[in-house]
């Protein structure tokens, strides 16, 4: 209960602004920050981070977004590691074969977990091509159908 009340009172916009000063001038870090900023600006209900190694979700968590981070990983070892990061809800899913399948799988999981419903916005981040660790370079605002 104390943690819930504390999180409600946190000044997320100020935290995000302060964290902006720590952006490493690399694509993956800039994308992670942008995902948090866009989620805040649009009132997205969550950030979906597809990750092979866990680094995408870790980088997003570094910026302490208000929106929960749904980390989707194909390996159980990565899922377990991500459970230790702030605001991350890790789930293991079978490997996807296409970006389209990845988007659909994430949306369905968010609905099933009660994190999103039809009409909600989520911010999605991942690395393309798929299954290349450390390649976070994609950002999408997705409307849940």
The secondary structure of 14-51, three-state, reads: HHHHHHHHHCCCCHHHHHHHHHHHHHHHHCCCEEEEEC
Whole-model pTM: value is: 0.84
pLDDT of res. 65: 92
Residue 4, pLDDT score: 47
**What pLDDT is recorded for position 95?**
87
Q: What is the CATH number of the domain that holds 45?
A: 3.40.1380.20
CA distances from 104 to 52, 66, 94, 143 (A): 17, 23, 13, 11
Asked if residue 71 lies in contact with residue 57, where contact means CB atoms within 8 angstroms, the answer is yes
In the chain, the number of structural domains is 1
DSSP for 91-120, written as a single string:
EE-PPPSSHHHHHHHHHHHHHHTTS--TT-
Task: Give just the sign of the alpha carbon dihedral 30, 62, 73, 46.
Answer: negative
Q: What is the pLDDT of residue 42?
A: 97
CA 102 distance to own-chain centroid: 13
Beta bridge partners, 143, equal 121
Domain that holds residue 73: 2-143
* Partners of 70 in the β-ladder: 48, 89
Walking along the chain (145 residues) 10 residues at a time, the average pLDDT comes out as 52 58 77 94 97 94 94 95 94 90 94 96 93 87 96
């Amino acid at each position: 209960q104390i943690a819930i009340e504390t999180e409600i009172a946190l000044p997320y916009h100020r935290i995000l602004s302060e964290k902006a000063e720590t952006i490493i001038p690399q694509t993956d870090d800039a994308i992670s920050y942008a995902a948090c900023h866009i989620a805040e600006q649009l009132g997205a209900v969550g950030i979906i981070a597809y990750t092979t190694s866990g680094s995408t979700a870790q980088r997003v968590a570094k910026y302490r977004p208000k929106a929960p981070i749904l980390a989707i990983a194909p390996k159980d070892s990565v899922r377990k590691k991500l459970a230790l990061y702030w605001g991350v809800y890790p789930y293991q899913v079978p490997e996807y074969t296409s970006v389209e399948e990845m988007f659909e799988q994430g949306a369905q999981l968010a609905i099933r977990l009660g994190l999103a419903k039809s009409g909600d916005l989520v911010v999605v981040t991942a690395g393309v091509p798929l299954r290349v660790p450390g390649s976070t370079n994609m950002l999408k605002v997705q409307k849940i159908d």
